[in-house]
Structure 1
Amino acid sequence: MCRPLHVTGFTPQRRVLASRQKMILQRVAVVGAGAAGLCAARHILSRLDRFAPPVLFELGGKVGGTWCYDERVGTDGAGRPIHSSMYRDLRTNLPKEVMMFPDFPFDPQLDSFLPHQEVQRYLERYCQSHHIGPHIRFNTMVEKVRPVVTATERSKEEDRTLWEVTSSDASGCCKTEAFDSIFVCSGHYSDPHIPDIPGIERFKGTVLHSHSYKFAEPFAGQSVVVLGAKASGLDISIELAGVGAQVTLSHGQPPLTCPLPAGVQQSCPVVAVEEDGRLLFQDGSVSGADILMFCTGYNFRFPYLDGPQLGLRIEDHLLSPLYRFMMPPAFPSLFFIGMCKLICPFPNFHCQVQFALAVLEGVVSLPPRAVREDEAWLALREKAEQGVQRRHLLVLQNEQWDYCQSLARAAGFTPLPPAVRGLYEEVWRQRRFNSVDYRGRNYKLIGEDRWEQIN
């Protein structure tokens, strides 16, 4: 609960007058100090002739977001949910040459595939190099973000919406401040998605989500059914087999053709739990297990936002409609950074942030609200007509390169180097053939267009 509230930075008459006189720099709130939030701050701080220094609201005690490893599960000492889904032995599934912000390389002496600690150190170095730290409010929760002047109230000045942000610090003290723009950079990898499995309450073993998985040793010698064979499901299954667990990798994809460790077998999806606590699979087979682990992704959750007020549908696996996968059509000064899935995250943030700032600067002229809304729905409808399931409508994967190129072209910033795409696609091919050992390779970018394998 928030203690006494006070309001700062907002006097409507003063701000409207100053806006007309073009004397006030735009004030931006950034929710989250993970990779996306740091990227937003870095680019705002490079434009101090047009923007005031940003205010970053960070729930945790340090930068890094999901890259901050925390062995605790559930909630922290203040009763707030543990945000990070990192596990102890995670290594990146993309090489650093592809992962990096294009204007901030990793240490070239490091291997291409990094333990999560190196990514955390990289983000800390990025923060220090761009002097972001003084602008971060750590251990601060955003309680509410709301528009205080709507498009209908301002008629033709729809892009001039102001925002109230109410936040609370660790002591529970609240304050409310006004901003010209909001960058939502709080990610979507912290609220576990648990699919509905009939009879799950009858399962006699342990049920958990990969969000609460930290290391493999506690599962040694046990039978584990892992639901989901995307990146985390496959990696965790391999880790579990390494400590002697018997793993059933249950999923609805075509069977994986890459070699798997001896302790991992594949199966079709779990569809129910029998009366006796055994698992029923889609093919009619039944099996017992000690552990049922969901590697089934995460939900979109923004408890500080009122979706209907913003014209947004916030569902488990879908946030819509978003113009350019970033902006609610009615509120183009509210930006969601990094909501798309199966992307190269840091380069994607780099492009989205620069496009968003170009919108605020007036470099990018947006079409009318009705056109923005039509285009946002059309992008999703076209994917659905191609047979893409609703929960996968924000998956970009092969489309991400044209998407980032279009942002760069519209906003006038340097596009991503072609070599990044080439190496990304090569690593995806390698993962399909050798999911266990593909991280043993090292790469080097050679200029804008080429890369090479160096061992």
Structure 2
Amino acid sequence: LPARRSRTRVAVIGGGPAGLWAARHILSRPEAFDPPVVYEMTDHLGGTWFYEERVGTYDNGYPIHSSMYRDLRTNLPKEIMMFPDFPFDDRLNSFLHHTSVQQYLEKYCEKHDIARHIKFSTVVEKVKPVSMETETGGAVTWEVISRSTRGDQNTQTFDSVFVCNGLITPLHLPFYLSVSHLLAFICAFIHCCFAGKVLHSHSYRYPEPFANKSVVVLGARASGVDISIELAQVNAQVILSPNTPTMSLPPPLGIRQASAVVGVLEDGSLQFQDGSVTQADILLFCTGYNFNFPFLCPSELGLDVQDLFVTPLYKYLLPPGFPSIFFFGICKIICPFIHFDCQVKFALAVLEGSVKLPTQEEMEKEVQREMQRKQDIGVQVKHLLNLDKDQWDYYLDLARVGRFTPPQPVFESLYEEVRRQRQKDPQKYRQINYRLIDATQWELLEAPPEQTDRV
């Protein structure tokens, strides 16, 4: 009789939403997979949804992971944030306080008995391929070296690795500054030309310390706009400096919009692209994060990791030369939980063998074609991983190839409706509540189901 095929062992790096969703689906397939080992460097689950009052570093010296601020509310409604098999409490408003999302993840973890598979307070120091069987088409064994906060080192071997550590430090500096402007920027601070404080939104927690101060906010995506609104409500004089066309902000907020910051003058003034100049007490970067995988040698995997771009990743997920390591949540401007759902199901289909991948050369060519297609329509390299409206076709593609049910059309419809409401009034759109009717329809609720923020 032929030897019984052993089950696949998977290491999951990160105990946030992607890691928990991956663990739950691995656990649901005991005939094909051993229970996962989930590595989490903190003593809690939730990833970025776990609010940390402190900033800087943990006790183990690693950077604080969470970017939550005290009053953050989701910018997507719970109706399109939920995992498909685990809806949020109906009594909650559509737009949730971050504590409700954290409690949701804790309940999800409890329901599926995931916590006992998580190695808390354990940092992954190294992930490396240690063997390759060329006869079987490139099967790789992965060595994962980890260290607990007590200093104990551990090495385990896996058939696959799921990278779910999210977008973490290093912080991304303004991508619209030229090299000369950036050097001037840094030199100005070194020589104390800019007398104010400089910080990144990663270290922002609440607006009160900014009351009655002049603040220039660099970057006008979700966090930049939300934080600007918070600051204006404590009478900060806010100048929002986007790298995109100006948006409509309610006049009563008193937020002034300016062009992009291009440098710092000798007297410490900030100069904008249109030639205007201003003095500021605080310069707040809301400019995102670079990719960072300190436990990997990307070049060893054939990957080019730039500040805002990683390539080549077939289906935005796996290196063509190493199709048993998967990077989840690399894409931006997405519905995160729906995104994780489709990516995890596709990855497990690959590992189970129900998806036959193209050759390495064919996968590399497909990645190149997709990136070239985007660049041909004017997408800059730094935005190549932004999906936005393209995410729905991406999910359909993953579902078709992976042979699983794609997200319901109602999610795309509601996503676009929320976008319209956000653009119409970025301050008040979160007051709206929705209800899903069926796979294609949603409705507005006349009044909130219950005025509560927490589970």
Q: Report the TM-score when normalising by structure 1.
A: 0.94
User: What are structure 1's unaligned runs of at least 5 residues?
Assistant: 1-19
What residue is the counterpart of 2:93 in the other structure?
111
**Aligned equivalents of 2:253 and 2:354: distance in 1?**
56
How do 1:7-406 and structure 2 match up within 5 A? 21-150=3-132, 154-195=133-174, 197=182, 198-200=184-186, 201=189, 202-406=193-397
Residue type of the alignment partner of 1:97: E
Shift of 1:149: 1.5
**Aligned equivalents of 1:375 and 1:252: distance in 2?**
31
**For the Cα contact (< 8 Å) 2:229–2:253, is it kept in 1?**
no
Shift of 1:171: 1.0
Residue type of the alignment partner of 2:55: V
**Aligned equivalents of 1:252 and 1:366: distance in 2?**
39
**For the Cα contact (< 8 Å) 1:159–1:333, is it kept in 2?**
no
- The 3-state SS of whatever aligns with 1:407 is helix
**For the Cα contact (< 8 Å) 2:249–2:255, is it kept in 1?**
no
Residue type of the alignment partner of 2:7: L
Shift of 1:23: 3.3
Report the identity percentage: 55
**Aligned equivalents of 1:158 and 1:169: distance in 2?**
35
Shift of 1:381: 1.5
**Aligned length in residues:** 434
- The 3-state SS of whatever aligns with 1:161 is strand
**Aligned equivalents of 2:290 and 2:254: distance in 1?**
30
Q: Which 4+ residue blocks in structure 1 deviate beyond 6 angstroms? A: none
What residue is the counterpart of 1:7 in the other structure?
none
**For the Cα contact (< 8 Å) 2:168–2:292, is it kept in 1?**
no
**For the Cα contact (< 8 Å) 1:260–1:436, is it kept in 2?**
no
**Aligned equivalents of 1:189 and 1:146: distance in 2?**
21
- The 3-state SS of whatever aligns with 2:271 is strand
> Structure 1, residues 80-135: CA drift from partner, whole Å, max 9, x if none?
11000110000000000011111110011100000000000001111111111110
Residue type of the alignment partner of 1:141: V
**For the Cα contact (< 8 Å) 1:189–1:297, is it kept in 2?**
no
- The 3-state SS of whatever aligns with 1:162 is strand
> Structure 1, residues 293-319: CA drift from partner, whole Å, max 9, x if none?
000011000000101100001111001
Residue type of the alignment partner of 1:101: F
Shift of 1:380: 1.3
Shift of 1:22: 3.5
Residue type of the alignment partner of 1:255: T
**Aligned equivalents of 2:251 and 2:224: distance in 1?**
13
User: What are structure 2's unaligned runs of at least 5 residues?
Assistant: 447-455
**For the Cα contact (< 8 Å) 1:193–1:296, is it kept in 2?**
yes
- The 3-state SS of whatever aligns with 1:124 is helix
- The 3-state SS of whatever aligns with 2:131 is coil
**Aligned equivalents of 2:168 and 2:235: distance in 1?**
28
> Structure 1, residues 22-46: CA drift from partner, whole Å, max 9, x if none?
4311000000010000010010000
Change in 2 beyond 3 A, CA 1:122/1:159: farther
**Aligned equivalents of 1:38 and 1:379: distance in 2?**
30
- Pair 1:452 & 2:443 matched: yes
Residue type of the alignment partner of 1:209: H
- Range with greater deviation from structure 2 (48-57 or 408-417): 408-417
What residue is the counterpart of 2:399 in the other structure?
408
**Aligned equivalents of 1:326 and 1:173: distance in 2?**
31
Q: Report the TM-score when normalising by structure 2.
A: 0.94
Residue type of the alignment partner of 2:213: Q
